[in-house]
Chain A
């Protein structure tokens, strides 16, 4: 084993095996702040004495290392994929921040942005098996199947949206695609699969638009599948962060999106919180130093801390049995 990532033993880490929780951070649009949020959440989390690994799963445009002021690491996911190392643990590199490790998706990863199916599932399986307290996955923009599959691997699916029509539009599209992808993977009935597929095309001729439509049509084919889908719909609860908030109206957008989406699509979102538009954020990125370390007193830092606490307070922290 050559892993250089090691936890700070002196801190008395709460040796909690099996307390692994995965947070995946996605969203339809580039530039909404996914990576910025992933990095800063990771740092906040590590300060609680939790062992955290950040995974840069933006396979085409990995740049978490830049946010952390590191150079591109020598070992990347491609070493793992190409079997140059034994386990994914061996490509976790030190960030210089106690308790925080980093895995970078390589730029040469077989046309990077599009790993082949078996490789993708192998990767997901291995990420799942990483024995740390928290794993944070930063995803690329867009809603390709690959992005969606990584997004769906956690119970904490986090979406980052900025208060702009374009970004909101992409976010809705992303959540819809994620839900359709999720159920399509679960359901094996060919006819129902076809309906789901149709729904993914916004302008399908049967006018299937919402999960309600799918559930209804699937229920007509097979009642138990309809019920199953209903259950899935209930259990699908992505979390929302509104970034770059400038006004009180911007803050409310999170609540309004939650309410409207539930009403019209039956998908509940949790509104985790917002991050204010703050010049310190821009400065920290320019300096290649994480915001919460460089400007811990800034308003945006406080927002991120609050979101971290909210996420911790959710179930993963509670159950020792987990895993």
Chain B
């Protein structure tokens, strides 16, 4: 990151190089709101002169980027300076998509690769979402005892593999998780258990 005066117009408005006119317009409005004199978010951060400076910079960025001719001239200038200009390749993730990522419900959580969906982590996720076993049982039509055994990984009490697979699939769906991934991960412990028992 550079000082405001050294940032490109794209950086200033937090848009990718290939941003559409609509994206730029939205970004400009957002930034102007952040840097308005009565915005709480910048309280104590900037002195009035700095605020004026940053607003003037935003206005200029907006003026240039929304004018096709000025924008292509500006892009060429950046290119001459060795800045990477949008070339159809994916640039850095557009900041604009970040405006409202916080959802009301913890749905569709992107668990990282390597996250292990074990009985106890499934229970953790379920409890985190505020579901009790009864609710999951109603949603999945799996009886509560089986759900409990699934969470405890109490394989000796559970029916055959094909049923366990089906149960976990339904359970994962009820929690709005990627069902196939959960099944694969969960069954790792099952296979370990089977192996240990056969030895």
Contacts and interface: CB of A to CB of B under 8 A. Distances in A.
Interface of A: 11-14, 44, 47-49, 163-165, 168-169, 172-173, 210, 212, 233-234, 251, 253-257, 259-266, 268, 271, 273-274, 296-297, 301-302, 305-306, 308-309, 312-313, 315, 317-318
A48 B120 contact: yes
Interface string B1-33: 111100100001010000000000000000101
Contact of A317 (B14, B103, B114, B120): B114
B126 to A, nearest CB: 9
A266 B3 CA distance: 7
Given A47-B124, A260-B34, A305 B129 contact: yes
A47 B127 contact: yes
A313 B40 contact: no
Contacts of B41: 168, 253, 256-257, 259-260
Nearest to B120: A49
Interface of B: 1-4, 7, 12, 14, 31, 33-35, 39-46, 50, 54, 95, 98-100, 102-106, 109-116, 118-121, 123-125, 127-130, 153
A130 to B, nearest CB: 21
* Chain A facing B: main interface SS: helix
Given A168-B40, A296-B127, A301-B130, A306 B103 contact: yes
Contacts of A49: 118, 120-121, 123-124
A313 B111 contact: yes
Contacts of B1: 233-234, 262-263, 266, 268
A101 B121 CA distance: 19
Contacts of B116: 14
Report which residue of B4, B33, B45 has the largest number of chain A beta carbons within 10 angstroms of its beta carbon. B45
Contact of B114 (A11, A268, A318): A318
16 contacts: A12-B118, A13-B120, A14-B116, A14-B118, A44-B128, A172-B44, A173-B44, A256-B39, A259-B14, A262-B1, A263-B1, A263-B12, A264-B4, A264-B46, A302-B105, A312-B115
A172 B41 CA distance: 10
Contact of B109 (A256, A264, A309, A318): A309
Given A47-B128, A255-B98, A264-B46, 16 more contacts: A13-B120, A44-B124, A47-B124, A48-B125, A48-B128, A165-B43, A168-B40, A168-B41, A254-B102, A264-B50, A265-B45, A301-B130, A308-B128, A312-B115, A313-B112, A318-B113
A210 B4 CA distance: 12
A292 B12 CA distance: 40
A291 to B, nearest CB: 12
Contacts of B153: 12
B44 A169 contact: yes
A274 B95 CA distance: 19
B15 to A, nearest CB: 12
A253 B40 contact: yes
Contacts of A212: 2-3
Contacts of B54: 263-264
A232 B102 CA distance: 28
A290 to B, nearest CB: 13
Contacts of A309: 106, 109, 125, 128
